[in-house]
Amino acid sequence: MHRRRLPIGIQTFAKIRADDHYYVDKTGFIRQLTDEGTHYFLSRPRRFGKSLLLDTLGELFAGNEALFRGLLIHPHWDWATRYPVIRISFGGGLVHSRAELDDKIGEQLRINQDALGLRCTETGSGACFAELLRLAHAATGHRVVVLVDEYDKPILDNLTDPDTARAARDGLRDLYSVIKDNDAHVRFVFITGVSKFSKVSIFSGLNNLRDITVSADYSALCGYTEQDVETVFAPELSGLDRDAIRRWYNGYNWTGEAVYNPFDLLLLFQEREFRTWWFETGTPTFLVEILVARGYFTPNLAQLHASEALLASFDVEAIASEALLWQTGYLTFTGARRIGARIDYQLGYPNLEVESALNDALLKGLIGDPMQAERAVTRLYDVLAATDFAGFRAHLDSLFAAIPYQWHTGNPIARYEGYYASVFYSHLAALGLDLTAEDASRQGRVDLTLKFNDRVWLFEFKVVELEPAGRALQQLKDRGYADKYRAAGQPIHLIGIEFSREQRGVVGFEVETL
């Protein structure tokens, strides 16, 4: 089989096609888009191929036929018509004020004027954009294609400064409203970004914009499907465990076909090593800070529920944790059902990479000492592998004892009942082991189930004032949580752990092995 070049970090369609890179043909989806409508919005996490998709659209409408030979759309496109294309991208650099945003918009408009061979006489950004749409239509006789990449980055760059974020949002809303006001000059619009800001806040003028973010038909518009991996990348699979590839990198879903993170797969094929490639390219500092400050109960991350309205209500003034986690790609859809007039989405980790890496980041935020958290994860694996319960208890004691006193007094989260369980859960989840929170049985739900080393570990947590009461282990026994695992014939460890708010640590640790 012929091995091609891996298109790592390449967002230019022409370069991929000309230099013998692997290319996953998305032009069937593009044909469907152009047949069905003219104005689209798509939200996807970072490094999912949004920029390449937009560049492909630009080359298609520009009529660069040679690039599309052999692709699905080639026999179905009118190559005689060449549309003027305006491309706007906020991907490069940071914007820290409304003035800087205006400068950035002006720069983008000058780039497009040069590309089209046109010149605006209007000085304001909005007026110049509108004039450019009119001029391009008049000069070519064809209406204009508008492609906007990373439409939301100036806002996201400033979420920790709400006033600046609001100013950026208002400036972008003014820019995007020009598209609606000049619809007579527009042939096709495609806008992409990471977040899905509410339409009222940023696209209030673009009421003809079709949001395909959670359209089942376009779930695989970005990313690689199972079939893509088996066919396009078949020459790269030799020597790699296919089940491991699925566990690590597959599972992103927007109510249709699941996809792999393309960045992860390309780095895996290049380095031949399973690592958190995507996560390492951008630690979600802001996300971790929000979840920690809100006292988020991390075991819930594996099985959240959220309404369509909640996920679509993302804005500077109101950022729901569920919406933030979903839009940034740390949670994905694992199910959906209609409840009366609303849709209820079930959210969970897409894969092992995200579950492990996100919980590692959360653990460091929860205990306030990144280096201590790093060392603790290694020690935890060793005591689990040795089935050393005395060492396990000592490890938990040292883990909670190492959390600085100032962290408890300065952070209200450390007083929450769920704090201790969150630290423990994220501590285990950071290892990337087979872990289930709120594991259901006929008798109820056990707090945490771990399958490791041919053993089943069942954990129950309780928070007490000062003295241990033995209630955690007793509940595990009384409710028969182990019954569903007995048939496997593996050792089952019942572990009851009691935390004390007053002593800020573990006061009860009981184990019974079946």
CATH number of domain containing 425: 3.40.1350
Return per-residue pLDDT of the chain as tens, 514 residues.
789 999 999 999 999 999 999 999 999 999 999 999 999 999 999 999 999 999 999 999 999 999 999 999 999 999 999 999 999 999 988 899 999 999 999 999 999 999 999 999 998 999 999 999 999 999 999 999 999 999 999 998 898 899 999 999 999 999 999 999 999 999 999 999 998 887 667 887 677 899 999 999 999 999 999 999 999 999 999 999 999 999 999 999 999 999 999 999 999 999 999 999 999 887 667 888 888 888 788 888 888 999 888 887 788 887 888 998 998 999 999 998 998 888 899 999 999 999 999 999 998 888 877 888 888 888 999 999 999 999 999 999 888 877 765 555 555 555 555 778 888 889 999 998 888 887 766 666 888 999 999 999 999 988 887 777 788 899 999 999 999 999 999 999 999 999 887 777 888 999 999 9
Q: Is 303 within the bounds of a domain?
A: no
**Residues 160 and 103 occupy one common structural domain:** yes
Backbone angles phi, psi at 101, to 5 degrees: -65, -45
Q: Would you say residue 85 lies in a domain?
A: yes
Domain count, the chain: 3
Same domain, 400 and 445: yes
In a domain, 409, yes or no: yes
Q: What is the pTM of this model?
A: 0.91
**3-class secondary-structure state, position 5:** strand
Cα radius of gyration rounded to whole Å, the chain: 26
Q: Which tokens hold the place of 267?
A: 């780095």
The order of strands in the sheet holding 492-500 is: 434-441, 444-452, 455-464, 492-500, 505-513
Pairing mode of beta strands 342-348, 304-307: antiparallel
Query: Where a domain ends, among 218, 233, 256?
Result: 218
Say which CATH number the domain at 110 has: 3.40.50
Tell me: do 169 and 253 sit in the same domain: no
Average pLDDT over the chain reads 91
Phi, psi of 120 (to 5 degrees): -80, 145
Residue whose tokens read 């109820």: 444
Q: Is 70 left (phi over 0), alpha (psi -120 to 50) or beta?
A: left
326-370 tens-digit pLDDT = 989 999 999 989 988 888 999 999 999 999 999 999 988 888 778
The pLDDT tens digits of the residues spanning 55-102 come to: 999 999 999 999 999 999 999 999 999 999 999 999 988 899 999 999
Burial class (CB within 10 angstroms; exposed 0-12, middle 13-18, buried 19+) of 472: buried
**152 assigned to some structural domain:** yes
Query: What letter would DSSP give residue 424?
Result: H
Domain identity same for 96 and 110: yes
Residues 105, 227, single domain; the answer is: no
Q: CA 171 to CA 173: how far, in whole Å?
A: 5
* Residue 133 forms part of a structural domain: yes
Q: Which domain holds residue 130?
A: 25-218
Query: Which has the closest alpha carbon to 449: 423, 485, 422?
Result: 485
Q: Judge if 113 and 243 occupy the same domain.
A: no
408 in the same domain as 486: yes
- Whole-Å CA distances, 383 to 97, 257, 387, 512: 51, 40, 6, 17
